[in-house]
Amino acid sequence: MSGQTRLRDDFLAGARAVAPVLIGVLPFALIAGVVAVRLGLSPLAASGLSVLVFAGASQLAAIQLIHDGAPLLIILVTVFFINARFTMYSASIAPHFRGARARTKAMIGYLLTDQAYVLGLYGFSDRPELARRIAFYLGVALPLWLCWQVATVVGAVAGSRLPESWGLEFGIPLTFMAMIVPSITDKGTVAAALVGGALAVAGHALPWNLGLILGALAGIATGMLVSTLAGDEVQS
């Protein structure tokens, strides 16, 4: 098998792995476009924001906070906590791309999502060569990016004309639940999920997403404390 054929097969393997996930991403992206337009952005601005940021949850949170007139500090803190997980993702995934060119790493970082991270790790163990890992990762990440951008544009153009009875909002929590639940594997992660989730729900009525921030802080602290007391190894 030639090198190009193998890389093509790795790319296609990544695309096949991510295909079922796209079903959950589609309504999430539609909602991102719809919400952006309903809160005052033009379809062009909503689509541009999606391309530049490519971070669905923080996009929605930032747009909502801007619409509510939240202070810039609150917006930045909220986006920071929503996206803080990518720091851990990057640290975890970086060794698999050691030796790649700087521009390749930049593209990998830009395309990094929850789904690309999880599914990418599954495919790296069978691909010791750097080029094969990159091909597999791009097979996972590029369809996610394309699906997100196209669906966001559709949502932005359709705007308020999409009927609320479709209940597209359910796509957002369902997508995150599908990613989070398999990662709850020990006492620390169970405690973090329970405490963080409970506080976020209890503080849902607080202004400017403060409930989310408090839940994130409490969840992280609880998970680390329980893991330490239980003797679990805390990954840095």
Say whether pLDDT at 190 is over 80.
yes
CA atoms of 50 and 140, how far apart (whole Å): 19
pLDDT in tens, 63-86: 777 777 788 888 888 788 778 778
Which of 70-74, 107-111, 132-136 shows the lowest mean pLDDT across its residues?
Answer: 70-74
Residue 137 confidence (pLDDT): 95
pLDDT in tens, 192-226: 889 988 998 898 888 876 787 788 788 888 988 88
Q: Where are the domains of the chain?
A: 3-161, 184-236
Which phi and psi angles does 163 have, rounded to 5°?
-65, 135
Q: What residues contact residue 49 under an 8 Å CB cut-off, 6+ apart?
A: 36, 41, 59, 63
Instruction: Read off the pLDDT of each residue in 131-135 and give the average, rounded to a whole number.
Output: 94
Say whether pLDDT at 144 is over 70.
yes
The whole-chain average pLDDT of the chain stands at: 82
